[in-house]
């Protein structure tokens, strides 16, 4: 069923060790906060073209191209999709990193930099796996797609969601998302619902007498009531994901210090489990806001949905998923642990739209991603390249009967 032995895979990747590290380092050294992905996309495009891939670009906002490259070995075969993203969170404000956010410094076997784990290591590992196979003369019994998105760290509207609406990335049979999973296989993701709530008031100078509550006061009262709901939410627990989350992370109000706030907006970030359901999630928040409005019509508000990521569960019994687990076993000598988390990804949109299986397996530890000293262990990165090659060979390798 496979064309490559595990020893051959180890040997192949070892031959490309320095180039793989250089690619990862260069990628981290190119700043690509959300909205500023152009330079990295140009670098990725040129790199994939350098080993013979034709790259298609899809822009839904000027200067922010999504990239899709496909390698076809057999038109009649199945299609494997690698899904990654190029944008990263901006460096944390007010915190000094040890080496600088875009340094790409290698120290004690780790490569440091903003986005190293989320998810430039995974992006590079997939690219290197395809390059190594292609340059070794390997011919897949099907098609391999490398896809790199923009806007994933925001709402995905300028990235995977628009691509799916246009019928792209919809024809895969299976795939992997290269988000950081730190030697484990992510099989379940909780849902994400994010929204903005805005209150208004008439404003006026601080010294102008009024009985009206300003917009900031309304937001504070609403937040206080929502935090009472938060306690109920945090008391819930689910078998795989644990307790869900409710957080208000942003609050803005007013324009100058001596004028009462005529407008105030705060954001809601709600992470939920399958068992809760999106409609219940929305309703219990809206019920709190509506109760305030019913008690005082001045508490009228607007609510704008920012982002929605559905829950996603992978099927452990699916043959393609079993082969992905086997690939890890073959390369590392042990099965990866399955796990679940509330952080979401573009993979959930692809799965929701197509029904295909797309587990998450990638180098890096999400717990230290987006911190001032984000880094990835280089041996983990190189091992992941080997695992990706093994996955491709198990799923798209030339079958024995086809060699006759």
Give residue 115's pLDDT.
97
Structure tokens at 283: 């309703």
* Pair of tokens at residue 135: 């340059």
- DSSP string across 286-328: HHHHHHHHHH-GGG-EEEEEEEEE--EE--TTSHHHHHHHHHH
Termini Cα distance of the chain: 13
* Of residues 267, 357, 281, 280, the one with CA closest to residue 312: 357
Instruction: Reply yes or no on whether the pLDDT at 162 is more than 80.
Output: yes
With respect to CATH, is domain 6-189+311-403 assigned 3.40.630.10? yes
Sorted by where each begins, the domain ranges of the chain are 6-189+311-403, 191-309
pLDDT of amino acid 203: 87
Domains 6-189+311-403 and 191-309 in one fold = no
Is 90 exceeded by the pLDDT of residue 96? no
What gap in Å lies between CA 41 and CA 44, rounded to an integer?
5
Q: For residue 403, is pLDDT > 70?
A: no
Burial of 123 (0-12, 13-18, 19+ CB in 10 A): buried
Tokens encoding 40: 């990295």
Q: Is this structure's pTM higher than 0.85? A: yes
- Burial environment of residue 33 by CB neighbours within 10 A (0 to 12, 13 to 18, 19 or more): middle
Residue in the block written with tokens 């206080």: 224
All residues at 6 or more sequence positions from 113 whose CB lies less than 8 Å from its CB, including other chains: 28, 29, 99, 100, 101, 102, 103, 104, 105, 120, 374, 375
Return the DSSP state at 336: P
**111 vs 21: CA distance, rounded Å:** 9
CATH of domain 191-309: 3.30.70.360
Question: 119 preceded by cis ω (within 30°)?
Answer: yes
For the segment 262-267, the average pLDDT, to the nearest whole number, is: 98
Share of the chain above pLDDT 90, in %: 91
Residue 344 main-chain phi, psi, to 5 deg: -105, 180
pLDDT of residue 404: 29
pLDDT at 3: 86
Judged against a pLDDT cut of 90, whether residue 95 lies above it is answered with no
Helix, coil or strand: residue 109: coil
Report how far residue 138's alpha carbon sits from residue 100's, in angstroms, rounded to the nearest whole number: 39
pLDDT at 98 over 90: no
Q: Is the pLDDT of residue 33 over 50?
A: yes
Read off the pLDDT of residues 245-259 as tens digits, 9 standing for 90 and up: 999 999 999 999 999
Phi, psi angle pair for 401, to nearest 5°: -65, -20
- Name, in order, each residue with C-beta under 8 angstroms of 217's C-beta and a sequence gap of 6 or more: none
- With 90 as the cut, is the pLDDT of residue 31 above it? yes
**Mean pLDDT score of the chain:** 95
pLDDT at residue 358 greater than cutoff 80: yes
- Within 10 angstroms of residue 68's Cβ, the number of other Cβ atoms is 18
Strands 142-149 and 65-72: antiparallel
Angstrom distance (rounded) from CA 233 to CA 238: 11
Beta bridge partners of 72: 143
**Span 397-402, average pLDDT:** 52
Count of CB atoms within 10 A of residue 315's CB?
Answer: 12
pLDDT band of residue 398 (cuts 50, 70, 90) is low
Write down the residue that tokens 């140009």 correspond to: 42
Give how far the C-alpha of residue 307 lies from the chain's centroid of Cα atoms, to the nearest Å. Answer: 13
Question: Using CA atoms, how far apart are residues 249 and 269, in angstroms rounded to an integer?
Answer: 7
- The answer to whether the beta carbons of residues 349 and 156 sit under 8 Å apart is yes
Identify whether the C-beta of residue 180 lies closer than 8 Å to the C-beta of residue 373: no
Distance CA 43, CA 220 (A): 46
Residue count (the chain): 404
pLDDT at 259: 95
Q: What is the pLDDT of residues 307-327, one digit of tens each?
A: 999 999 999 999 999 999 999
| pLDDT (tens digit per residue) in 368-395 | 998 889 999 999 999 999 999 999 999 9
Encoded tokens for 121: 């290591």
Q: What is the pLDDT of residues 333-357, one digit of tens each?
A: 999 999 999 988 999 999 999 999 9
Is the pLDDT assigned to residue 117 strictly greater than 60? yes
Check: CB of residue 32 under 8 Å from CB of residue 357.
no
pLDDT digits (tens, 9 = 90+) for 287-296: 999 999 999 9
Q: Is the pLDDT of residue 114 over 50?
A: yes
Confidence of residue 261 (pLDDT cuts 50, 70, 90): very high
């Amino acid at each position: 069923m496979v064309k490559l032995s595990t020893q051959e895979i180890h040997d192949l990747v070892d031959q490309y060790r320095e180039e793989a590290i250089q690619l990862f380092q260069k990628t981290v050294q190119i700043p690509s906060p959300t909205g500023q992905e152009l330079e990295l996309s140009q670098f990725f495009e040129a790199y994939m073209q350098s080993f013979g891939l034709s790259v298609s670009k899809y822009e839904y906002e000027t200067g922010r191209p999504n990239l899709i490259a496909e390698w076809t070995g057999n038109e009649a075969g199945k299609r494997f999709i690698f899904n990654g993203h190029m944008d990263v969170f901006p460096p944390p404000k007010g915190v000094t990193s040890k080496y600088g956010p875009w340094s790409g410094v290698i120290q004690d076997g780790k490569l440091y930099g903003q986005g190293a784990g989320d998810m430039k290591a995974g992006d590079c590992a997939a690219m290197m796996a395809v390059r190594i196979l292609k340059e070794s003369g390997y011919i897949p019994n099907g098609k391999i797609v490398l896809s790199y998105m923009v806007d994933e760290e925001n709402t995905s509207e300028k990235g995977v969601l628009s691509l799916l609406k246009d019928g792209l990335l919809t024809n895969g049979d299976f795939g992997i998302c290269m988000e950081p999973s730190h030697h484990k296989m992510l099989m379940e993701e909780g849902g994400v619902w994010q929204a903005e709530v805005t209150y208004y008031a008439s404003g006026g100078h601080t010294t102008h007498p009024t009985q009206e509550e300003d917009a900031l006061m309304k937001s504070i009262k609403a937040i206080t009531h929502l935090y009472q709901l938060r306690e109920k939410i945090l008391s819930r627990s689910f078998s795989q994901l644990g307790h869900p989350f409710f957080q208000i992370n942003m609050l803005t109000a007013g324009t100058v210090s001596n004028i009462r706030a005529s407008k105030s907006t705060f954001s809601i970030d709600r992470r939920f489990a399958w068992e809760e359901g999106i409609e219940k999630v929305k309703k219990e928040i809206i019920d709190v806001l509506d109760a305030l409005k019913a008690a005082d019509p001045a508490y009228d508000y607007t609510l704008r949905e920012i982002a929605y990521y559905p829950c996603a569960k992978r099927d452990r019994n699916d043959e393609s998923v079993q082969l992905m687990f086997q690939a890890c076993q073959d390369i590392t000598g042990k099965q990866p642990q399955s796990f679940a988390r509330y952080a979401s990804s573009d993979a959930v949109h692809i799965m929701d739209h197509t029904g295909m299986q797309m587990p998450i397996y990638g180098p890096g530890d999400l717990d230290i991603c987006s911190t001032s000293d984000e880094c990835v262990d280089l041996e983990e990165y190189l091992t992941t390249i080997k695992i990706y090659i093994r996955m491709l060979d198990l799923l798209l390798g030339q079958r024995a009967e086809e060699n006759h």
